Structure 1
């Protein structure tokens, strides 16, 4: 049966279920009476949908509140144990895997470092090693929490690079900076990770999963538009124009900021990432005479730069070399932020990622000053530049949101296995001929 708009009755039911689930998730507990104006549904529609969701085990009662002159109103909430998600962050220094319930309570986590096993930087991201880390990590968090894999809504994966979809292989990852050229990651994970076929994988750019997390639960809540910046070894960004829809990852780190400039790890010259990523910052510090601790990883080396530039002792003198490198980095980032402001005119720019959070508010003050000086005055006066609030694990949280968002969009229905339809007669005939 269809309705005049072209949508079927099933479509309308799914949309109504989705609307109620989302309102209960973000604003609950709520009464049936409050759900009406919050979703623009009639009281009859609300009662019918709620009855279905309670029957499906997705919604439960959560006490009651007094009403004006009437009997108490029953409150409703999402039942947090009605589904589980796994978030995976294939990061720059490690692979992190976390298991969450529907309320995003962390139930288990594990992580594996990505170490260089050969002479090239790209050896750190050997695809078989990364896939093995994900395989082992998924099994480990499920075992730690005692959760059956069949209860998963899905596995979300944040990756460095451009994500595309191919008809046969599913999601392909084009990670030029890590040496991944059209890696069929979805097919590789499906063939390696021991999960039921009904559990889907959702793979997307790490900056996009960070953006999703900050917009749903962090510093982006309430903003109609934002750019969320992932500042780690390199830099990336996600442009968001609706706080409940996933944004669009942009390769912001590979905008050219200096013609014939420094060689970027993508191979081009003069990219923003060649000046503003943590890896480039540390390289420029070494070239200027800075001395990171022997054998230090990037995070420890960045800590050493900050300690040299901003010593804690009352009589300690700041290292002018470290200060100069940080200030130059702030100017490049500020210029990059100005490009984002002029192009997208967002309400907010939010900075996350381990390096962005480690550099912190003091560094961000300089970035704001440069961004304002390089950007057009009107959009610059209407943007707030702030740190993200979800910490260094935000990419993993955002990855876990990918299956959750799809679950809500389908009205709380799990992904159904694809039906196998019979092939046309002519295809069967040609196959039989080819067999002979």
Structure 2
């Protein structure tokens, strides 16, 4: 099957309501976001009118043939929520009919949940408890939910002062991982850039001197990559927590190496992990689309939940069932009162993000380390950017990657060379 070719025909028989448009909503500047392009294509191919919030007129999403209209609205993530809600309502009035909201980042997902009453007249979206998406997006909030519901997660502490860090440095088993405690690091100066592996006590103490009197970090157990497998779970869940679509796969390569955004992933059936994820989501009362990152720790044989993104994941087009349903299509069907067809997840497929998988391949080969779990050769490949029926987003991505983007790529490659020691091991442009 040709690369990217199977997606044109998939879902052709789905009985979608074409009178209900979709709107891609993002907060902050990350123009090279393949997830938004994937959402525009997956509903646009079914005849659903698609709109998008874009940073400017020349983003890959804005170039898609399946986009009915774009709303150029640069945001930083530091705006008052009331201003963002007012902007969304203006967009809703311009579209002129109830529209499915499709957030591509945590800020947009949280904004929608916390201002649901104001947005409900113009938009369709799932209705979890208003504070739940913010709690799930927070490292501390997620850790607390895992503890409360018996879900394994890496051991973690949340220091409240430099003295707490000094005490932890004296008893911790290194290396450890430092992450920002809250998801919305654009609203304030982040303590760390992405996820940072810390080799020893002195390095921790040196870094912590810049974290201020109330460190906004989580210090977490490091799960060695040589003893771990990275798994992803994507699902769409009804108001009662029942899965409308549920998929499992393996992250084969990421960028920067061994952490960060997905560069290549494969579909892989994992009934145990699917059951764990569905049970957790039902217990916490989440509804809507979710993207979960799990790490299988070979040392104790347990899956540990690392991240819970309460929105569509950028690599969601890896997954589709035999009825042509992915999580975005499932959400549109469910919220427009249509039946979501059941089906097994398609097997043997992989997903490749062309612009980041190239440096990822180079870095993995240079390190000589391969992921412990590499599926059999894929039966078909879904490319994040290129599609024969919609080539302009790919060309726009290439054009935007030139010039300043090329310098950015060189910086990422240098980061990849350092990723085995003290450099940040998770970073990227925009949501994963």
The reply to whether TM is greater than 0.5 is: no
TM-score w.r.t. the length of structure 1 is 0.30
Structure with the larger helix share? 1
Which of the pair has more CA radius of gyration? 1
Higher relative contact order (CA 8 A, sep 6+): 2
TM-score w.r.t. the length of structure 2 is 0.30
